[in-house]
Amino acid sequence: MEASLKDRLESIHQRIDLAAKAANRSSDEIELVVVTKNHGFELALELLGLGENQFGENRDQEAAAKAQQLAQALSPGQLAPTWHFVGQLQTNKVKSMLTYSSVLHSLDRASLLNELAKHLAKTPERALDVFIELNLTDDPNRGGIEPKTLSAFTEQVLAVPQLRLLGVMGVAGLDVDPAVDFERILNSSQQVQTLSSSAKYISAGMSGDFEQAIGYGATHLRIGTAITGKR
C-alpha cells in the first residue's frame, strides 16, 4: 500500500532530525517549507491539519488561486499558512505575489529587485523577507546572481528598507555532486553575512538532496515530491 501523506511527512521529519544530529545541529534551526506546487489547496489543508504551515509555490497564477482557496477553507482559529515563493518570478507578477507571499526565495536579478522596490514603495507598511538566489553554474545566462556580483547586489537589496534580507538560496545542479554546490552556497552565505550579519539563513535542499544540504548549513529546506508524492 502506498504510504500516506502523514507517513511521508513523518519520515521526512525523522530524516531531518537524523541529518541534523549527524551535522551537530539542532533540527529546531531548520525550517521545512513543503512545496505544494502541482497539488490543489486540499493538500495544503491536509498539511495544516498535520501541523505544517510553511508552503512553497513556483508559479504565481497557481499560488494566488491556491492561497485564496485555502484562506476560505480555514476554520476559525486554525493555524494560518505562510506562503513562500520559490520559483522564477516575472516582473509583471510582482504585484500579485505580494498579495499572498511573505517570503521570496528567488530574488535573482536587478530588474526583479527594482520592481519589488517600486511596488513596496506604494505600501509603506508592507515588508517582504527575501533570499538572494545564486547562479551556481558557469553559465551567466542562467537565473541567479553570479559570485562576482554578489556583494554589489547584496548592497542594492540592503538599500531597500522594506526588504528583509534573510540570506542566500540555491538549487544544486542535477549533473554535479550537490556537495560542490552546497559548499558554494555556504561560501556565498558567509560573503553576504559580512555585509549583513542578520542575513544568516540558507535556503537549500530539495527531496533528493536535503540531508546533504543540512550538512552544509541549510536552514530552509524546500521539499516537494518526497512529501506530496509525484504529480
Query: Should residue 89 be labelled a site residue for ligand PLP when binding is judged by CB under 6 A?
Result: no
Is-contact 182 223, C-beta < 8 A?
Answer: no
Retrieve residue 36's grid coordinates: 505544494
Which residue's CB is nearer to ligand PLP, number 184 or number 222? 222
String of contacts with ligand PLP for each residue 150-189, x by CB under 6 A: ---------------------x------------------
Phi, psi (degrees; rounded to nearest 5) at 76: -55, 135
SS3 track for 129-152: EEEEEECCCCCCCCCCECHHHHHH
The three grid cell numbers given for residue 71, joined into one nine-digit string:
484562506
Q: How many residues bind ligand PLP (CB under 6 A)?
A: 14
Q: Could you say which of 20, 30, 43, 86 contacts ligand PLP (CB under 6 A)?
A: 86
**Alpha carbons 160 and 172: distance in angstroms, whole number:** 28
Q: In this structure, are strands 201-203 and 163-169 parallel, antiparallel, or unpaired?
A: parallel
87 binds ligand PLP, rule: CB under 6 A: yes
**Which residue matches cell numbers 551556481?**
136
CB 107 within 8 A of CB 85: no
Rule CB under 6 A: is residue 206 a binding residue for ligand PLP? yes
Q: Which three cell numbers stand for residue 18?
A: 537524523
Minimum gap (Å) between residue 154 Cβ and ligand PLP: 20
Q: Which stretch binds ligand PLP (CB under 6 A): 71-79, 94-102, 191-199, 223-231?
A: 223-231
Looking at the DSSP assignment, which residues form a beta bridge with residue 129?
103, 164
Give yes or no for residue 37 binding ligand PLP (CB under 6 A). yes
Taking contact as CB under 6 A, which single stretch among the options 59-67, 120-128, 135-143, 203-211 is the one that binds ligand PLP?
203-211
207 binds ligand PLP per the rule CB under 6 A: yes
Nearer to ligand PLP, 32 or 199 (CB): 32
Q: Which of 58, 101, 188, 219 binds ligand PLP (CB under 6 A)?
A: 58
Specify the stretch interacting with ligand PLP by CB under 6 A; choose among 110-118, 142-150, 191-199, 206-214: 206-214
Tell me the H-state helices in the chain.
5-22, 41-49, 60-73, 94-100, 110-122, 150-158, 178-195, 210-215, 225-228
The residues of the shown chain that bind ligand PLP, judged by CB under 6 A, are 35, 37, 58, 86-87, 171, 206-208, 222-226
